[in-house]
Structure 1
Amino acid sequence: MNGTTQLALTGLVNILISIVCIVIVWWILLGMRIEFLFKSNRVVQARALMILLSIVLGHQLATFFIDYLGWSQLMTQLFSG
């Protein structure tokens, strides 16, 4: 596989990992009652906070997995020669 194809495949995998992590964090946050932290009738602000938290926390989780994947690929070079 040439370098361009490898770079494109890595980018696609990173995007998919990021989206999956954001969806997982969103699913977790749906189980929480964040609306109680807000004044009454502020459901829109609570949902906006949930979206922002999902993006931020999902990105952090995805970054961990992407880094771990990269480090594990580097480990193969340690024993290859």
Structure 2
Amino acid sequence: MDLSGANNVSGVVGVSGLVSIVVSLICIALAWWALQNLKLDLFIRHPKSAQGRLLQLLIAVVLGHFVSGFILDYMTWSQMIRYMF
């Protein structure tokens, strides 16, 4: 029985998962870095408290998730273009 096709598919899926994780973490880190410049004291009473930092982290995760979703979708769409011709 030839398992080279199955190994190839599992390798592609593994690389795709790894790329998704890395892109997501990079986008979350960039969102966190960008949020450091935001004046949260206009919206939060104590932005340096644990609750303020947690809110900032959650906002970074949400923003990073949306940005990484866009980047990963764009990468997938650009790879699909080769099947047009």
Q: Deviations over 1:12-55 (max 9, x none)?
A: 00000000000000000001111332224862221111000000
Q: Do 2:24 and 2:65's aligned partners in 1 also have CA atoms closer than 8 Å?
A: yes
Amino acid at match of 2:25: I
TM-score, L = length of structure 2: 0.84
Residue 15 in structure 1 maps to residue 21 in structure 2: yes
Partner of 2:30: 24
Amino acid at match of 2:45: K
TM-score, L = length of structure 1: 0.88
**How many pairs were matched up?**
79
State how far apart, in whole Å, the 1-side matches of 2:66 and 2:47 are: 31
Q: Let me know the Cα RMSD of the aligned residues.
A: 1.7
Return 5+ residue gaps in structure 2 as ranges: 1-6
Larger Rg: 2
Q: Do 1:35 and 1:46's aligned partners in 2 also have CA atoms closer than 8 Å?
A: no
Q: Do 1:21 and 1:58's aligned partners in 2 also have CA atoms closer than 8 Å?
A: yes
Runs (4+) of structure 1 moved beyond 4 Å?
none
- Going from structure 1 to structure 2, the CA distance change for 1:36 and 1:13 (only over 3 Å counts) comes to same
Q: Percent identical across equivalent pairs?
A: 33
Partner of 1:78: 84
Residue 37 in structure 1 maps to residue 52 in structure 2: no
